[in-house]
């Protein structure tokens, strides 16, 4: 499998794009309140990316083979929506959960990250799903080091989530990223340790587990983009872009407002 190894100057470009993507989420945090529409969140993000960051919102008009062009600048997936939810005028309600997924292009480099938000006062079950999904992402990240295998990442995520009674979406995965939005390798969120590609310094990819409170089966809505849980159970997702370093990993999509890593990660982050 051919994947790109980033040079030191490439990595600097990635660091900038990734930090900017995370800063959009910092900006949006105070706006995610009951009564706001995801359309309004999209407008705020678009204006900031284009006018302040002088960058490009990667999702806008993105059209991989077989897809109609994506019509918005961010993805907003609410409650049982797993991923690729399209912003609309429907107001968010107290207790909703929403994933906001940001990808910016700066000087040709892509930065990709997402966070979960609980709107107002969420239920204990919804908060637990979001928290466990966050820990699942970091358990995958913590496996990243030269000589490890992609299967190690997926295995860590799958065993943790399934061990707590949740399910892992199989049809969507993390991906290599750089001057292209989606590069090789694919980063599965399930698998067997010691399998798949070996990690080497200079690789950059996303880890973005989608964890369902119910069964893992999915379906696509008629808009051609939005993916939902087939049983309408809640779904959560977190995403970071990660660099394989000489002795471990660096999370590139960190900013002043990023939630801190879980205690089990230690200083490696």
User: To 10 degrees, what angle do helices 124-141 and 150-163 make?
Assistant: 160
Instruction: Give the residue-averaged pLDDT of 58-81.
Output: 96
Q: Evaluate if residue 268 carries a pLDDT over 50.
A: no
Whether residue 262 is contained in a domain is answered as no
State the pairing for strand pair 183-187/235-237.
unpaired
Whether residue 269 is contained in a domain is answered as no
Tokens of residue 8, six digits: 């030191």
Instruction: Give the residue-averaged pLDDT of 46-61.
Output: 98
Whole-angstrom Cα distance, residue 111 to residue 200? 20
pLDDT at residue 213 in the model: 98
Range of the domain at 102: 8-254
Whether residue 237 is contained in a domain is answered as yes
φ/ψ region of 133 (left if φ > 0, alpha if ψ in -120 to 50, else beta) reads: alpha
Whether residue 174 is contained in a domain is answered as yes
Reported as a single tens digit per residue, the pLDDT across 167-189 is: 999 999 999 999 999 999 999 99
Tokens of residue 90, six digits: 């429907």
pTM: 0.96
Whole-angstrom Cα distance, residue 35 to residue 150? 41
Whether residue 259 is contained in a domain is answered as no
Among residues 160, 152, 267, 266, which one has the least CA distance to residue 211? Answer: 160
CATH number at 58 reads 3.90.230.10
Tally of CA atoms within 13 A in the half-sphere of 89 that contains its CB: 0
Whole-angstrom Cα distance, residue 104 to residue 100? 13
Contact (Cβ atoms closer than 8 angstroms) between residue 72 and residue 60: yes
pLDDT at residue 3 in the model: 85
Q: What is the 3-state secondary structure (H, E, C) of 159-213?
A: HHHHHCCCEECCCCCEEECCCCCCEEEEECCCCCCCCCCECCCCCEEEECCEEEC
**What residues contact 153, with CB distance under 8 A and at least 6 apart?**
140, 141, 143, 144, 187, 188, 189, 191, 207
Q: Evaluate if residue 1 carries a pLDDT over 80.
A: no
Tokens of residue 150, six digits: 């992609």
Instruction: Give the residue-averaged pLDDT of 47-60.
Output: 98
Please state the domain count of the chain. Answer: 1
Contact (Cβ atoms closer than 8 angstroms) between residue 28 and residue 76: no
Whether residue 265 is contained in a domain is answered as no
Whole-angstrom Cα distance, residue 90 to residue 226? 15
**Integer angstrom CA distances of residue 263 from 103, 128, 177:** 27, 17, 27
Whether residue 264 is contained in a domain is answered as no
Q: Evaluate if residue 111 carries a pLDDT over 50.
A: yes
Whether residue 154 is contained in a domain is answered as yes
Q: How confident is the model at residue 269 (pLDDT cuts 50, 70, 90)?
A: very low
């Amino acid at each position: 499998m051919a994947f790109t190894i980033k040079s030191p100057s490439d990595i600097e470009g990635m660091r900038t794009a990734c930090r900017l993507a995370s800063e959009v989420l910092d900006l949006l945090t105070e706006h995610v309140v009951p009564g706001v529409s995801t359309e309004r969140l999209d407008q705020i993000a678009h204006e900031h990316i284009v006018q302040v960051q002088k960058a490009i919102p990667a999702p806008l008009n993105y059209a991989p083979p077989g897809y109609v062009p994506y019509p918005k600048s961010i993805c907003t997936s609410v409650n049982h929506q797993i991923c690729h939810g399209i912003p609309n005028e429907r107001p968010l309600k107290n207790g909703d959960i929403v994933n906001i997924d940001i990808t910016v292009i700066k000087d040709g480099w892509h930065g990709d990250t997402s966070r979960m938000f609980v709107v107002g006062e969420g239920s204990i079950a919804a908060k637990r799903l979001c928290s466990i999904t966050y820990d699942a992402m970091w358990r995958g990240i913590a496996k990243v080091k030269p000589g490890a295998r992609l299967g190690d990442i997926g295995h860590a995520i799958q065993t943790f989530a399934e061990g707590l009674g949740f399910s892992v979406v199989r049809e969507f995965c993390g991906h290599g990223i750089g001057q292209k939005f989606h590069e090789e390798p694919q980063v599965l969120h399930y698998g067997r340790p010691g399998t798949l590609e070996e990690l080497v310094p200079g690789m950059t990819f996303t880890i973005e587990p989608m964890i369902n409170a119910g069964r893992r089966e999915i379906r696509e809505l008629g808009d051609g983009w939005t993916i939902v849980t087939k049983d309408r159970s809640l779904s959560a997702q977190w995403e970071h872009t990660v660099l394989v370093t000489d002795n471990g990993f660096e999370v590139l999509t960190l900013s002043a407002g990023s939630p801190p890593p879980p205690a089990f990660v230690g200083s490696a982050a």
